[in-house]
Each structure stands twice: as structure tokens, then as C-alpha cells.
Chains A and B, each alone.
Chain A
Amino acid sequence: MARAKKNSAKTGRRHPLATAALLAVGLLVTGAAYAGFSQTAATAEVDLTSPEVIEAGQKLFAANCATCHGMNAEGTENDGPTLIGVGAASVHFQVGTGRMPLAFTGPQGMVKPVQFTEEQTLQMAAYVASLAPGPGLPETQYLQGEGDVARGGELFRINCAMCHNVAGAGGALTQGKWAPSLSGVEATHIYNAMVTGPQNMPVFSDANITPEQKSDIITYLKYIDEKPSIGGFSLGSLGPVAEGLFIWVIGLGAVVALTVWVTSKSN
């Protein structure tokens, strides 16, 4: 060993671990750079009322949204509804989750990789909000997840669970539509969805569920995202369907395998 080490030092050959070390350094650097970059993008401060921002938003709108929603967001006959009065919250939800621009028309818009930076999304939101008053972006105090978990859970079960499942795992609706899973969804998007009722979701205005109650619901959703599953495997929290499939395939499979083994002749 010692001789081999000496030799490598003399000949100037790379240490066997050098490649691994280089890889680790490279990953660390790119990772840190990416984290820094994405953080700056997420915390972009945009004044939604400034004329420059609105103008920038209008340009983005004309380039990306006007084909379906019309040059002045008035909507077109078959392709897109009017956006006058939908408010900044709606734009932030639809564009911020990648649902808009729509890749293709179907039962409902799909969550896709986001196509615009947070800043561009906010610029478009500012433009749409400047057309007519509509639901605005939520105040950050409601998005921290510091509300009452128990009350949030109760509100969730009364108002949301019938479509999104008690554990927020999502569920099927009619004719190819579905209520998406709420796990890992950003607090802003949850709030905006309640206020604007995107796609086939009903609207839960502040008169129906107050901002404090919305904060409670967000707290509950964060809580079920983070808490461990007490029963062990949650099987996606989907309820009887997933559990039934599991026990029929895995449980009954094990019983069959054991039966075959018990009754087979020893070799």
C-alpha cells in the first residue's frame, strides 16, 4: 500500500479518490448556484400598481395569452374566457402552477413546468388586475401556516374534502376531470385557488371562508404534509380503493404463495 502511494506521488498520477472528490465539488458548486438563483427568482419584489410593470405585463400578455384570451383580455368565442375581472390571484394561480399557457384543450388544464419567472407572472397579474378589480394576491401573514390546525381540518372536511379527499390526496370528478392532490402545493396557490375557483372548483370568497380561516386550512394542509403517517404505509391516503387493491394483490398473493408451499411435496 505504502509503496503504491509513493509511486503515485512520484509519477504524478491521480489519487483513486480524486474523481469522486472532483465530482463532489462540482455538484456542490452547481447546487449552491442553482439554489441561489432559484431563491432570487422566488423572492422577486414587484409593485403590481406601477405603470412600467403593467406595461411589461401587457407585452407578455400580447405575446403569450392573446391568441386565446384576445388582445385586450376580452376573451374569444371558443378558445378562452374573458379575463376582465378575474384579478391578479387568478393569473398567479394559473400561470404560477404551469396550467397556463394551456398545452392542449382537454377536460382540465394540467400542472406543467412553469413557463414564466415569478417576476413575469406578477407582471401579467398586474396587467390583468389593471383591467378591472378582482381578487388580489393574498397577504403574506395568511400564508405562513401558523393558524389553528384543528379548525383548519374541520373547515377542510366541510368544504374541501368531498372533492380533494380528507387527506388532500385528490379524487376523480366527472367526465375525465379530477380534483388534484394538495400535497406540496404552495400556500399562495392554495389561497388563490380558494378565492378564484379555478377550472371547476367553486369559489370560496372571503365572506364564505374568511382570510383567517383560509390561513387555518393552509395550516392544516401543511400539517398533513409534514406529519408522519400513524398507521404506517398510507398507500397514498386514497382510502378503500388503494387499500383494497393492496390487500387483494399483496395480502391474498402471500396467502396463495403460502398455501402452495404448504401443500407442495418436499423435494
Chain B
Amino acid sequence: MAEEAKNSSGGSAAVVADGHGVETASVGTAVLSSDAVQNPGLPPHRKRVTDLDPKKEKNAERGVYGLFYLSIVGSLGAVLAYMFFPIESGDASEIRLHTIFVGSGMALALLAIGIGAVHWGKALMYDGESIDLRHPVASDEPTREASAEVFKVADQESGFSRRTLVRNSLFGALIAFPLPGITLLRGLAPQDIDPVEVLRHTMWDKGIRLARDNGGHKVGEAIRAADVTIGSVFHVVPENLGQAKDVLNEKAKAVVLLIRLDEKDLKETPEKESWSYNGIVAYSKVCTHVGCPVALNEQHTHHLLCPCHQSQFDVSDEAKVVFGPAKRPLPQLPITVDDEGYLIAQSDFNEPVGPSYWERLK
């Protein structure tokens, strides 16, 4: 430790000596001392107008105390605004007026103090240049040696370097102690259930009717296939959503966008041909990029746009990605109709909905 301290002091001595070293340096890398930036010194002291003209000084003084008085006006104004623009009737416009006037008063009060103080300092307070010389920050040699000695003695007395087994086991314990904190993160995942399973399955199942999304926890009426006209869009949740234990989480996974296209426009691979009904298709509303709700549907181009990162999906072509950062098409919900003409799901989604996660199958 003491040796290191000595070395560093030697280093600083070398820096000081640099000025002499320049002359012996090789041509090309040498910096000629005549090129060095000359110390320009201090510019001549320029007096402010407030120093030269007593009238201007008086003005500045007036400006400063004027600002402080203005601040008082602002504070009182805020208090008066609180009394004269109360929020009592619950009318929205009252909140607005209250906020605007109380806020402006407080802003004026604080801003005027600040501006006044700076103005005071700049225009009226003593205006002279002075130099504060920079001194080396290191302690003197005996102090540094004494502190190095303290470390040395502490090491000898504790046996920190001698008892290597004790020391290394301490290091081990220090490394191990944050680990329980990391394992606690596991507790944030659903308990007693495999999170992969939870993410893979939604509430959709064979025979569950497609119902309108009425916002929040509310589930609307089931949708009849005959009600879905060409170009229509329905925001859909499972009809039994209300029975879920955790409605909003289940909804977040199960939301579906139901769209009816002209059957001529629909491109379907043979294995998915039975998944639509009379041109009615249902796709997960959860973007496969980071999970925003994709619902900006364009009737003519059949494109679905995600508002977060501009991913575009072609609804007529199995929600293929046509633009943007999404990697996979939106999962399709296989649908059909029941005896009463209501749209029902044939099964759950055939793949996990939403963005990728660690053990997603595809």
C-alpha cells in the first residue's frame, strides 16, 4: 500500500517535469513550447451599468424588490384563488379554474423569488474577479505513510491475508447471500402451477360462445353468426369469462377480434379451412410482438395495425405479418356455430397467444 502511494506521488512528479522533457522528444511527436496556448490572463474588469450609473443601480434595486413584492402578490393571489374558485359543485370546469388560478399564483410566487434573487446577485452584489488557486489534493507524505501503516497492522492483527481459508469462506458467504433474493422472484410467478401451462391456455374451449366485450369485467350478449355483416368487427370475450377467478387476467389472454370478410378475399390453408365460418374469422387481439391489443382494422386492405410498434397483420391471409417487428402471425381461434346459430369456439387456441416466452413451443 505504502509503495503504491509512493509510486503515485512519483507519477505526479513526472507530470510536473514534463516541460523539460519536451525538448528531448523526437521530431514529429514533439510539441513546440512556442505553440502552447499562452495564458491569456484575466480580461480587464468591465464595470456593470449599475456600477457606473447610480440611476441604473436604483432601477435594478427597484426591479429586485418589485419582483419580491410580485412574489407576495402571487402567494396572496393563490390564497384568494383558493377562496374564490373552490371545488364545491363537482363541476369539471371548477376543477380546471381552481387548478389554473391556484397554480399560476404559486408559480408566480416562486418564480419571482428566484428571478429576483438572481437579478440581485447579478446586478447589485459585489462584482469583482478573484482567483482561487488549485492546490494538490493529496495528503502530505507522513500522513499517507501513517494510514498505510494502519492497513498493514489491521491485516496482521486480523490475519486476513494469513488465514486464507477463513478469508475465502467469507468471500463465498458474501457471494451467496443475495441468492435467496433472486429465488424470491420465482414467488412472483403463479404458485403451485406451471407458469408455462398458465400462459399456454386461455379460457376458450370447445363449445364456448363468443360474447361481446362490454368493458372491464362485463360480458355482453353472445353473438349470432347471422348478425355479423361483411366488414363488421366485433370485440369478443368468452361467454363464461365472468366465472373466472381472475377475470381481467383471463380476459387479457382470451380477447379476440371477430371480423367478417367476403369469402372470396379469404386465403386459407387446407388445415385451417374449417376454422372460419362463412367468412367470419376470429384472431387473438394480443400482439405477438409485446402484447398490445391489436384492433385497428382497415376494412378495404384487411390489415390490422398494432398502435404500439406499427406491426401489421393481414386478416385475409391468416393474420400473416406484413410489416413491423411482430415475428409470428396472430393465433387464430377456430370457430363454428351451434344449433341456435350462435358462434362458438371449436377449441382453445392451437398455440400460445401473445409475445414469445422462454418455453413457448413455436
* Contact surface of A with B, Cβ cutoff 8 Å: 154, 157-159, 162-163, 171, 173-175, 177, 179, 197, 199-205, 207-208, 227-232, 261-262, 265-267
Decide: A262 and B118 in contact? CB cutoff 8 A: yes
A162-B307, A229-B96, A232-B100 known; A203+B298 contact, CB < 8 A: no
| Cβ–Cβ contact B232 & A203, under 8 A | yes
Q: Which residues of B contact A232 (CB under 8 A)?
A: 96, 99-100
Inter-chain CA distance A177–B310, complex, in Å, is 13
Q: How far in angstroms is the closest Cβ of chain A from B151? A: 44
Q: Tell me whether A201 and B299 are in contact (CB under 8 A).
A: yes
Q: Which of B75-83, B223-231, B344-352, B354-362 contacts A (4 or more CB under 8 A)?
A: B223-231
Distance of B187 from chain A, by nearest CB (Å): 34
Please list the 7 inter-chain residue pairs (A to B) with the smallest Cβ-Cβ separation, ordered nearest first: A207-B227, A202-B233, A200-B298, A203-B231, A266-B122, A162-B295, A205-B229
Cα distance A227–B293 in the bound complex, in angstroms: 29
Across-interface contacts of A175 in B (CB, < 8 A): 301
Q: How far is the CA of A128 from the CA of B6 in the complex (A)?
A: 99
Q: Are B299 and A231 in contact (CB under 8 A)?
A: no
B346 CB to nearest chain A CB (Å): 22
A203 close to B92 (CB less than 8 A): no
**Among the listed A174, A207, A229, A230, which residue makes an inter-chain contact with B298, where contact means beta carbons less than 8 Å apart?**
A174
- Say whether B235 faces chain A, with CB atoms less than 8 Å apart: yes
Cβ-Cβ contact count across A and B, 8 Å cutoff: 93
Q: Are A159 and B235 in contact (CB under 8 A)?
A: yes
Contacts of A171 in B (CB 8 A): 307
Q: Which of A154, A203, A228, A266 contacts B229 (CB 8 A)?
A: A203
Looking at A154, A227, A229, A267, the one whose CB has the most chain B CB atoms below 10 A away is: A267
Interface residues of B in 10-52 (CB under 8 A from A): 46, 48-50
Instruction: Tell whether A228 pairs with B214 under 8 Å between CB atoms, given A174-B305, A174-B323, A204-B232.
Output: no
- Which of B118, B212, B235 is in CB contact (< 8 Å) with A261? B118
- If A157-B215, A174-B305, A202-B259 touch, whether A162 touches B296 (CB-CB below 8 Å) is yes
Known: A202-B259, A202-B297, A227-B92. A158 touches B213 (CB 8 A): yes
Say yes or no for B73: interface residue by CB 8 A criterion: no
Minimal beta-carbon separation of B161 from chain A (angstroms): 52
Q: Residues of A contacting B233 with CB < 8 Å?
A: 159, 202-204, 208
Which residues in A have their C-beta under 8 angstroms from that of B214?
A: 154, 158
The listed residue (A158, A200, A229) touching B300 by CB distance below 8 A is A200
Who on chain A is nearest to B50 by CB? A266
Give B280 Cβ to nearest chain A Cβ, in Å: 12
**Minimum CB distance partner of B303 in chain A:** A174
Closest chain-A Cβ to B57's Cβ sits at a distance in Å of 11
Which residue of A174, A203, A204, A261 is within 8 Å of B301 (Cβ)? A174
Tell me the residues in window 203-259 of chain B with beta carbons closer than 8 Å to chain A beta carbons. Answer: 212-215, 224, 226-235, 259
Report Cα–Cα, A261/B100, bound state, in Å.
Answer: 27
- Take A159-B235, A267-B49 as given contacts and tell me if A154 and B215 are in contact as well, using a CB distance cutoff of 8 Å: yes
Q: Of all chain A residues, which has the CB nearest B127? A: A266
Chain B residues whose C-beta falls within 8 Å of the C-beta of A197 in the assembled complex: 231-232, 299
Task: Determine whether B2 belongs to the interface, using a CB cutoff of 8 Å to chain A.
Answer: no
Give every chain A residue within 8 A of B295 (Cβ-Cβ). Answer: 162
In the bound assembly, the distance between CA atoms of A207 and B222 in angstroms comes to 11
Interface status of B332 (Cβ within 8 A of chain A): no
A207 touches which of B123, B224, B323 (Cβ 8 Å): B224
A154: nearest chain-B partner, CB-CB: B215
Shortest distance between the CB of A172 and any CB in chain B (Å):
9
Query: Would A267 and B299 count as touching, CB distance under 8 A?
Result: no
Report yes or no: A173 in contact with B122, Cβ–Cβ below 8 A.
no
Closest CB of chain A to B238's CB: distance in Å?
Answer: 16
Report how far A15 CA is from B48 CA in the complex, Å.
Answer: 56
Inter-chain contacts of B310 with A (CB < 8 A)? 174
